[in-house]
């Protein structure tokens, strides 16, 4: 096959769409979204379907000890592959594109390459990683973190879900505790296609984002212990109200982000009160704080200010506040050669492109620890994500998958 013929290859949008639609039926929720929390029965159904597609293509399928699944072409090749992928788990109120686009576009790219007969210097692989979302088992990107050696297998298997389940036991239960060792051998390179999940590309009418890196993230769970008491008889001055303290933290983090300014963001996404009754002062509140910034030092500043506020609040309200770190990842820079290659391929295909950092966490940031890594973003309609209404236009899905195809082809046909 000549270079020119290789450059003309295109993915099939109808095939990609058909797989996106079929996967979206598993764990479907109202509004067109999906609930496939990591290692639940619906996640298993999703995994089984994606594995069946990998098998149909004749890929070698490897499942590792933390449940990551890698499909490789040609199946007999065991040297380091040029890898793509993402995740198929979702948040409980997720959309149909977050993660699944990267995995299913990867499968589509492999199908295009296999049917074209193009000769590869490096094998190609498509992976889906366990528990990228982290909303059932923290931290997020757990499977790719263990894959890249950033967390021991033992620690990963011992993580408890918010519902009390043990990650290692859930992997066995759904049949995805595989034999391949983790950490894994590093790929030759890793490139992931993902929806932007933010508003920048749409606002600027740009089709392809060349992702420069991922911002730093800090997740803390706070357990606030007060005293339950009668809502009618307890004078306001005598309360140790865990619910009130939780609300104070939520309003503090909003002020903190405003005070620090962009790009600092801060979110209280989960509040659980006990006993959670109309006429009882709450005895206990468990809440989560998500802090993110592109500057590592500023992530530290935000954390310190939060913790100081908690100490002062505990003293003032006569409650105790325990902290547990759920996730802490420094900002990551992607490989300059991969970023430039994404831009070059987009331009060569007549697509508008710009560089931008990622606000969301991604498996690519873990792979960046062990190999040259990068990402391709496509626009999210109205910047909406982690919401059933998540949407990316067909033309953008097609453009993104074609850029992924040619970035991967360039890397996999280059002898280096």
Nearer to ligand GLV, 73 or 219 (CB): 219
Residue among 403, 397, 377, 369 nearest 148 (CA): 369
The answer to whether residue 81 forms part of the interface with ligand GLV (CB under 6 A) is no
Euclidean distance between CA atoms 193 and 365, whole angstroms: 13
Nearer to Mn ion, 93 or 180 (CB): 93
Tell which positions 341-380 bind ligand GLV, by CB under 6 A: 360-361
Residue 138 φ then ψ, to 5°: -90, 150
- Site pattern 121..150 for ligand GLV (x: CB under 6 A): ------------x------x----------
Residues near ligand GLV (CB under 6 A), total: 4
The answer to whether residue 64 forms part of the interface with ligand GLV (CB under 6 A) is no
Helix (H) or strand (E) holding 7: helix 3-8
3-state secondary structure of 97: coil
Nearer to ligand GLV, 194 or 305 (CB): 194
CB of 130 to Mn ion, least distance (A): 13
Euclidean distance between CA atoms 282 and 211, whole angstroms: 44
**How many of the other CB atoms lie within 10 Å of CB of 282?**
27
* Interface with Mn ion (CB under 5 A), residue from 27, 85, 99, 216: 99
- What distances in angstroms separate CA 89 from CA 92, 133, 333, 371, 386, one per listed residue? 9, 7, 25, 24, 12
Which of Mn ion, ligand GLV, none lies near 331, with the C-beta cut-off 5 to 8 A by kind?
A: none
Nearer to Mn ion, 100 or 293 (CB): 100
- What distances in angstroms separate CA 155 from CA 35, 145, 168, 270, 376, one per listed residue? 26, 11, 10, 24, 31
Euclidean distance between CA atoms 116 and 363, whole angstroms: 29
Are 392 and 379 contacting, i.e. CB atoms less than 8 angstroms apart?
Answer: yes
Nearer to ligand GLV, 81 or 134 (CB): 134
CB of 134 to ligand GLV, least distance (A): 6
CB of 393 to ligand GLV, least distance (A): 21
Which of Mn ion, ligand GLV, none lies near 39, with the C-beta cut-off 5 to 8 A by kind?
A: none
Chain residues that interact with Mn ion, rule: CB under 5 A: 98-99
Sites of contact with ligand GLV (CB under 6 A): 133, 140, 360-361
């Amino acid at each position: 096959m000549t270079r020119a013929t290789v450059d003309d290859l295109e993915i099939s949008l109808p095939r990609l769409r058909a797989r996106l639609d079929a996967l979206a039926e598993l764990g479907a929720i109202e509004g067109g979204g999906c609930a496939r929390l990591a290692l639940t029965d619906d996640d298993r159904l999703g995994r089984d379907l994606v594995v069946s597609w990998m098998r149909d293509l004749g890929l070698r399928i490897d499942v590792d000890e933390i449940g990551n699944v890698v499909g490789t072409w040609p199946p007999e090749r065991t040297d380091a592959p040029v890898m793509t992928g993402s995740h198929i788990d979702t948040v409980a109120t997720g959309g149909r594109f977050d993660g699944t686009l990267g995995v299913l576009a990867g499968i589509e790219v492999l199908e295009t390459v296999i049917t074209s007969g193009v000769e590869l210097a490096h094998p190609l692989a498509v992976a889906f990683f366990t528990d990228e979302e982290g909303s059932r088992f923290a931290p997020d990107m757990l499977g790719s973190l263990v894959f890249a050696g950033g967390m021991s297998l033992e620690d990963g298997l011992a993580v408890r879900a918010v519902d009390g389940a043990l990650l290692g036991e859930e992997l066995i239960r759904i049949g995805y505790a595989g034999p391949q060792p983790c950490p894994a051998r590093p790929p030759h390179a890793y490139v992931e296609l993902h929806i932007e999940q933010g508003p920048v590309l749409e606002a600027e009418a740009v089709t392809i984002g060349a992702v420069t890196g991922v911002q730093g993230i800090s997740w803390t769970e706070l357990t606030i212990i007060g005293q339950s008491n009668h809502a009618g008889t307890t004078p306001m001055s005598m309360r140790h109200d865990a619910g009130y303290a939780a609300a104070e933290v939520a309003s503090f983090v909003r002020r903190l982000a405003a005070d620090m300014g962009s790009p600092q963001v801060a979110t209280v996404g989960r509040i659980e009160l006990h006993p959670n009754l109309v006429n009882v002062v709450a005895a206990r509140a468990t809440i989560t704080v998500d802090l993110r910034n592109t500057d590592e030092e500023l992530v530290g500043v935000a954390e310190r200010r939060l913790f100081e506020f908690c100490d002062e609040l505990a003293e003032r309200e006569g409650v105790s506040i325990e902290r547990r770190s759920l996730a802490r990842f420094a900002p990551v820079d992607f490989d300059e050669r991969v970023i430039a290659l994404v831009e070059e391929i987009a331009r060569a295909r007549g697509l508008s492109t710009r560089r931008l950092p990622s606000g969301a966490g991604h498996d690519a940031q873990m792979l960046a620890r062990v190999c040259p890594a990068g990402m391709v973003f496509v626009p999210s309609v109205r910047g909406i994500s982690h919401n059933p209404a998540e949407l990316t236009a067909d033309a953008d899905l097609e453009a993104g998958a074609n850029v992924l195809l040619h970035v991967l082809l360039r890397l996999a046909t280059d002898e280096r």
